[in-house]
Amino acid sequence: MKSHEVDYRLIGDDLQIVEVELDPGETVIAEAGAMNYMDEGIQFEAKMGDGSNPSAGLMDKLLNVGKRVLTSESIFMTHFTNAGRGKQSVAFAAPYPGKIIPMNLAGIGGELICQKDSFLCAALGTELSIAFTKRFGVGFFGGEGFILQRLRGDGLVFVHAGGTVIEKQLNGQMLRVDTGCIVAFTPGISYDIQRSGSLKSMFLGGEGLFLATLKGTGTVWLQSLPFSRLADRIIRSAPVAGGTNREQGSLLGNIGNILGDR
């Protein structure tokens, strides 16, 4: 199915919104809960599947539902259609600070591999599926999970990244990255996991036990602030019983309290 040709504009800087403009009859698909606002002529419906194969039978739809369960996403996707006569707009926003990256799949070989929670919305006709990494160790030690998302089609897709987005072009080189900092990469890039260094560096260096290695020819998109890192920092600073936070309850926190006459 050829993807619908939608127009868009990005609004904002660090807390971005993408406003998608639809001609009559055009549709954009999105994750449940991503919609921010929409014009009067937009109608929406929750459906099982991405709608890329209109002739799919019940078993195919159930298989797609099973795939979305594996990625911990909602089993339904929301389809927003312009049911009016003129151009109508619908806007989507991500749930945490960062950037929205628009990508034309036709310009990058028709396929994109991304983290399972980075997909925001796409033109109808885009196929969403899961991509298992080739080696079990990649998923077991990869930090962000064994399963990645594969987006296929020839239209616009929008993915979200935390913090600042860095785009890297690889031409046979290898790039070592914190596993949580990967947003997406093109199919010409292979993904693997390597030990981050010596045992001392692994346990005391603060960079985790393993790093992702990206190698090949293609494009890699990275994020400066993965949501897992942001959430971990918030949890560490959250109050616990007794009115202290977790950092204050640690050994270093107790030493700081003594030095501060607390």
pLDDT digits (tens, 9 = 90+) for 118-127: 899 999 999 9
Condensed to tens digits (0 to 9), the pLDDT of residues 37-76 reads 999 999 999 987 787 876 666 666 666 666 656 656 667 8
121 found inside a domain: yes
Rounded CA-CA distance 178/196 in Å is: 9
* Sign for the pseudo-dihedral over CA of 236, 70, 156, 144: positive
pLDDT at 262 (0 to 100): 42
For residue 161, what are the domain limits?
A: 7-231
**Token pair for 178:** 């914190």
250 found inside a domain: no
Q: How many domains does the chain have?
A: 1
Condensed to tens digits (0 to 9), the pLDDT of residues 147-170 reads 788 999 999 999 999 988 999 999
Contact, 94 vs 35, CB < 8 A? no
Condensed to tens digits (0 to 9), the pLDDT of residues 192-204 reads 877 665 555 545 5
Highest-confidence segment of 18-27, 42-51, 174-183, 228-237: 18-27
Rounded CA-CA distance 100/120 in Å is: 8
Q: Tokens 């954009």 correspond to what residue?
A: 28
Q: Tokens 């560490």 correspond to what residue?
A: 236
Rounded CA-CA distance 230/154 in Å is: 33
Q: Which whole number is the average pLDDT over 78-91?
A: 95
Does the structure show a pLDDT above 70 at 80?
yes
249 found inside a domain: no
Whether pTM exceeds 0.75: yes
Does the structure show a pLDDT above 80 at 21?
yes
166 found inside a domain: yes
Rounded CA-CA distance 95/156 in Å is: 21
3-state secondary structure of 104: strand
2 found inside a domain: no
Rounded CA-CA distance 101/92 in Å is: 12
**Token pair for 55:** 């002739």
Does the structure show a pLDDT above 80 at 220?
yes
CATH code of 144's domain: 3.60.160.10
